[in-house]
Chains A and B, each alone.
Chain A
Amino acid sequence: MKKLLKNDAFQTLIASLLCIVVGLFLGFIVLLFINPSGAASSIVEVIKNFMHFSSGKLRLKNLGNTLVKTAPLLMCSLSVLFAYKVGLFNIGAAGQYVVGSAVSLYCALALHLNWLLCILLAFVAGAIYAAIVGVLKALCNVNEVISGIMLNWIALYGANTILSNVKEPTSPYTLHITGESPSSLIPSLGLDKLFNNNSYVTIAIPLAIIIAIVILVLLNKTKLGYELKATGNNKNAAKYAGMAEKRNIILTLMISGALAALGGAFLYLSDYEQWSCSQSSVPGMGFNGIAAAFLGGLNPIGSILSSYFIQHITNGGAYVDLTKYSSQISDLISSIIIYLCGFVFFLKYAISSRLEKSEEKRARKAIADHEKGGEE
């Protein structure tokens, strides 16, 4: 047991679970504060999510919906995680996600391209967009957080402008791909049948999981991963070893940006959501990706689980009793929990130092006992 407790991965898991519990508890407190009568049942709804429905068919369909949004979140968290392993904090994932969304939507609705082409173009666009951050960082030593945040806003307004060309005449929302260009929809290949004919469930979901595994392998088993992590850990040593550290920084951000952009394409090319051309804040998907990356212990497999969890409670928030709380409450609860997820590493540190202390105490006690024994 002690050995297990000292295991790094296990500590991360414990810390993540603790964060979740504390997050849910804090959410509960807030609900209690606003309206005590519905707090308990609302939190239960958040946790239950699709289990809210009693019919198995509806449950399946709604599980499908949660999964549809898990895929883009997973991509964003992989984006953040990948850059982080190389010592970069890619907060620009949010903007790269927007770029991927906009490019894929435009390719679908205006150019009526095939879905694979739409995805590929989004991928390339995200890489190029993130390369700006990379070049600024590598060549001019501009902090990637600063330039990332600026580019997030540019991406948002750029997307709104471009997508205004393909929006519904009477609303700020983009057209439905289903009606406009069915060949641009990511195919389901029968996956929809598994979720009670939920047509939004596409191969994007297994694709995202495969990409997570690819990233895991890339980081741990390949020459490129070796180089990138060396650069992230000690860029002087990387330079000394003849690695092209500048190229590596740019390449890392490009891969990271491409991953986030894929997330945008995965969501919008399923036609689950329409882009609102009047939105004035950067979509939270990229930022949630940061939380998911940390909650998953900065491990791609952990990211799969944490992304699902975060999406699970976000969707669950929709079932909070709206007669007792205002409609923003679901976002509030899920954001509290997501916020708490950022504390995983802090908690992990607390756990391990706690362990050391208690061991030390035991050792001291043993010595004291021993000495006492000696005196007698």
Chain B
Amino acid sequence: MDQQYAIEMLNITKRFPGIIANDNITLQLKKGEIHALLGENGAGKSTLMSVLFGLYQPEEGVIKKDGVEVHIKDPNDANRLGIGMVHQHFKLVECFTVLDNIILGVEPNKAGFLQKGEARAKVMALSEKYGLHVDPDALIEDITVGMQQRTEILKMLYRDNEILIFDEPTAVLTPQEIDELMVIMKNLAAEGKSILFISHKLAEIMAVADRCTVLRRGKYIGTVETKSTTAEALSAMMVGRNVNFHVEKKPSKPGDVILDVKNMTVASKGHKKNAVNDVSFKVRRGEIVCIAGIDGNGQTELVYGLTGLEPLSGGTIELCGKDITKAPIRRRSTGGMSHIPEDRHKHGLVLDYTLEDNMVLQRYFEPEFTKMGFLRRKNIRAYAERLIEQYDVRSGQGPVTMARAMSGGNQQKAIIAREIDKNPDLLVAVQPTRGLDVGAIEYIHKQLVAQRDAGKAVLLVSLELDEVMDVPDRILVMYEGEIVGQLDPKKTTQEELGLYMAGAKRDEVIS
């Protein structure tokens, strides 16, 4: 009989200290299908995929490829079996170029000499074919998260893998890029490749996946045909209750100016042009202002300049009436600014610290946590436990879990808890809900609105169109380092927003 399944994972169990990440899970991937994997943060999706990719060994269960049992001891085995994976947190060498990263480990050579020309041609062809635009000679550390993502996808395609695992690939892409990726995935499936696709975005799953398997807290809940279900039903299956997708909020009552940015200019690392060019805007108490735009149009640098991670090359910043243009990061932080960073692994967490130590990363020096130079461990523990409880941060061992051993979404929740609980005058939130499940997103959005209603100023930077339309009171659109439009989310449409984001439309903005 012709084998129907490309991959079967049968009764997989994987335990970590304090938690059963996968509890007797069975997943069958048909040939040429796109199979979505859905579940709350910490449900065990990444773990299951890592088992398939040979990064973890399951305690129980078998894996079959084309009906034959296989043992995948490490990613090399996986590669030989044609299994490729794009990880939730990329595994790229920061100081290598895009091209070098793509060919890493499978460098074409003649008698030991690199044949980069060949590789370049193949990479460029793939990039052309699938519309995955990358600059092959740029260093990873200099490019946007979106381009890093594309590099990861190219890496997989370059290896001619036929089973492709995408662990939350769309979390970091722009809406346009997501649409493109959906097309790419469909093409790949049509070519006979089988795809496993993790996403928290139900619309995407409904759009591309043939079937969807749902996990909850490590357990298998069920597999459904997307044709015969709805997004609501899926989310109910996932969290066990109905989720409200719409953000409920009263009209805003803007007060005093909290953040006043005048003529901010930030130099670009890669190019001669300024990454942020002469940008001015204000954020007031009691309002949520959203910086929208396609990734790579200067939002990252704007936030770096604002939070002090990069120096300004021109302009001034005032926070609560005080000039902080040249203030060190700590002074900005104690002066009332919180920052949920774009890259949680680079900036947001010390991965080899425990969850509780990460919870006090911005406050460890306060008298509550330090007395005469000594850490007050009891207070730190109590504080961390409160945040964990309040924000439902799930992990194997609670406050003493290593941050590294937490699921991506729960790492994000920990950062959000820490930054919001600081009770800042200004909350700078960059892609705060990236990688969160629908239930968690609902909660975080409520928290942002609550901050606003408590008279705080919120500056949200988002690539997510739904979030841009739903959460803020005012939208500023960035294009090529400049603010090109100010929109009222209640009056505008996604189409109009898209025009501004693409640079097809621009106004003089005075705020």
**Chain A contact residues, CB within 8 Å of chain B:** 221-224, 226-227, 229-230, 233-234, 236-244, 356, 359-360, 363, 366-367
Contact = CB atoms under 8 A, between A and B. Distances in A.
Contact of B375 (A222, A230, A366): A222
B57 A226 contact: no
Lowest 7 CB-CB distances: which A-B pairs, in order? Answer: A242-B330, A240-B347, A242-B329, A223-B370, A360-B57, A241-B361, A233-B352
Contact of B349 (A221, A226, A237): A237
B329 A239 contact: yes
B70 to A, nearest CB: 13
B59 A363 contact: yes
B374 A221 contact: yes
Given A222-B374, A363-B60, A240 B341 contact: yes
B316 interface: no
Contacts of B60: 363, 366-367
A52 B61 CA distance: 59
B378 to A, nearest CB: 12
Nearest to B333: A242
Contact of B346 (A223, A230, A237): A237
Interface string B357-380: 100011011000010011101000
Interface in B332-349: 332-334, 339, 341, 346-349
B350 interface: yes
A322 B351 CA distance: 54
B350 A223 contact: no
A230 B351 contact: no
B255 interface: no
B344 to A, nearest CB: 10
Contact of B339 (A222, A224, A240): A240
A223 B361 CA distance: 11
B62 interface: yes
B59 A240 contact: no
Residue in A221, A236, A366 with the greatest tally of chain B CB atoms within 10 Å: A236
Nearest to A218: B373
Contacts of B353: 229-230, 233
Given A222-B374, A223-B370, A242-B328, A234 B59 contact: no
B375 A240 contact: no
A interface, over-half SS: helix
Contacts of A229: 353
Contacts of B499: none
Nearest to B331: A242
A271 to B, nearest CB: 36
A236 B373 contact: no
B309 interface: yes
| Best-buried of B62, B331, B347 by chain A (most CB within 10 Å) | B347
A356 B309 contact: no
Given A226-B375, A240-B348, A356 B57 contact: yes
Nearest to A240: B347
Given A239-B347, A240-B339, A244-B328, 17 more contacts: A221-B374, A221-B375, A222-B373, A229-B353, A233-B351, A233-B352, A233-B353, A234-B351, A236-B347, A237-B348, A240-B309, A240-B329, A240-B347, A241-B361, A356-B57, A363-B58, A367-B62
Interface residues on B, range: 35 or more
A356 to B, nearest CB: 7
Contact of B309 (A222, A239, A363, A367): A239
Contacts of B373: 222-224
B54 to A, nearest CB: 12
Residue among A226, A243, A359, A367 with most chain B CB within 10 A:
A226
A244 B328 CA distance: 9
A185 to B, nearest CB: 34
Contacts of B341: 240
Residue of A221, A230, A236, A240 contacting most chain B CB atoms (<10 Å): A240
A37 B346 CA distance: 60
A264 B352 CA distance: 34
A237 B350 contact: yes
Contacts of B377: 221
A223 B365 contact: yes
B52 to A, nearest CB: 16
Contacts of A224: 373
Contacts of A240: 307, 309, 329, 339, 341, 347-348
B318 to A, nearest CB: 19
Contacts of B61: 367
A234 B346 CA distance: 8
A11 B249 CA distance: 55
A356 B330 CA distance: 43
Contacts of B364: 223, 226-227
12 contacts: A226-B357, A226-B375, A227-B364, A229-B353, A230-B361, A233-B351, A234-B350, A234-B351, A242-B329, A242-B333, A244-B330, A363-B59
B396 to A, nearest CB: 15
B379 to A, nearest CB: 13
Contacts of A241: 329, 333, 361-362
Nearest to B361: A241
A234 to B, nearest CB: 5
A238 B352 CA distance: 13
B321 to A, nearest CB: 21
Contacts of A222: 373-375
Contact of A223 (B347, B349, B374): B374
A17 to B, nearest CB: 26
Contacts of A230: 350, 353, 361
Contacts of A356: 57
B81 to A, nearest CB: 18
Contacts of B350: 230, 233-234, 237-238
Contacts of B62: 367
A232 B357 CA distance: 15
A94 to B, nearest CB: 28
B383 to A, nearest CB: 14
Nearest to A225: B375
A356 B331 CA distance: 47
Nearest to A231: B350
A236 B309 CA distance: 9
Q: Which of B309, B346, B349, B361 has the most C-beta atoms of chain A within 10 angstroms of its own C-beta? A: B361
A244 B329 CA distance: 9
B347 to A, nearest CB: 4
A68 to B, nearest CB: 33
Nearest to A361: B57
Contacts of B361: 230, 237, 241
A356 B362 CA distance: 37
Nearest to A217: B374
Interface string B130-155: 00000000000000000000000000
A244 B333 CA distance: 13
